Amino acid sequence: MTKAQTYQIAALERKSLQDALAQASKVAEARIGFALSGLEGDLPKAMLYAVTGGKALRAFLALETARLHGINPVAAVGAAAAIECVHAYSLAHDDLPCMDDDALRRGQPSVHKKWDEATAVLAGDALQALAFELLVQAECAPRAKLTLLMSLSNAAGVRGMVGGQAMDIAAESAEAALDLDQIMELQAAKTGALISWSALVGPRMAEAEREPLSIYGSCLGQAFQIADDVLDATGDAATVGKAVGKDAAAGKATFVSLLGLDGAKSRANALVEEACDALSPYGEDAETLKEAAQFVIARTH
């Protein structure tokens, strides 16, 4: 069976957003499942459980920006699966009692509730390692592949997501609440770094100009977090798929607490407009990415 048959991706066809998200989820989960095939026990089961059922926004961005640069998305499946592994690992660890202590994720029991805390820790560890194994399999020039690997290590580590998570934990016990600039710095690392990395997969693989998608990814990451803050303040757990109201209960500074609900929504809208404007060099080919920016702030979960 060829890769094209395995992942069922039409090489350069632009799909509707919902079709593209569904396709990204399908191919990323299939690629991860293939990498774990033949393994037995709770650990690989927990790994697959952790990556299943999400929006696959990051995988979509990797595949769509590859398509935008004339790269057959099949060549970018390794990158799409890798970023979903990193994202899933972060959620499995984030839900642990020592972190955010969440019993629900995507409307289902968190990994540590489905199994136990040790399995959740190990599943996250293994997913992080698997991400770099999968990324090595992205089909691009050696220099481009090294750039992908180095940039993901930065986006996922102390300079990115993990560093942002550490800032968030420190803020919970700080004497003074964070101000808006500090919240923006924290969330650019904790949430934005992986989204920005995903949006730059295409130009990095093609060794092309990055600035338009760098702006797009940065704006998208911040808008995504604002939408999360709004959902935490206004959503219900059944729809959102996880506990809500935790930020206010913990007295955490968020975009909503600092800007107000209307102010936060207005800022998110402005960021989406800026993200879409940044895509102007790509013309009509970037319509699905523009739809994704609108989706980020319109979503209910």
**Domain locations along the chain:** 3-298
Q: Taking 60 as the threshold, does the pLDDT of residue 5 lie above it?
A: no
Q: What distance lies between CA 214 and its chain's CA centroid?
A: 15
pLDDT of residue 8: 43
Residues linked to residue 109 through DSSP beta bridges, in sequence order: 104
pLDDT tens-digit readout, 166-205: 999 999 888 888 999 999 999 999 999 999 999 999 999 9
- Mean pLDDT of the region 240-249: 63
Q: Which pLDDT band holds residue 158 (cuts at 50, 70, 90)?
A: very high
pLDDT tens-digit readout, 80-106: 999 999 999 999 999 999 999 999 998
pTM: 0.91
Tell me the CATH class for 3-298. Answer: mainly alpha
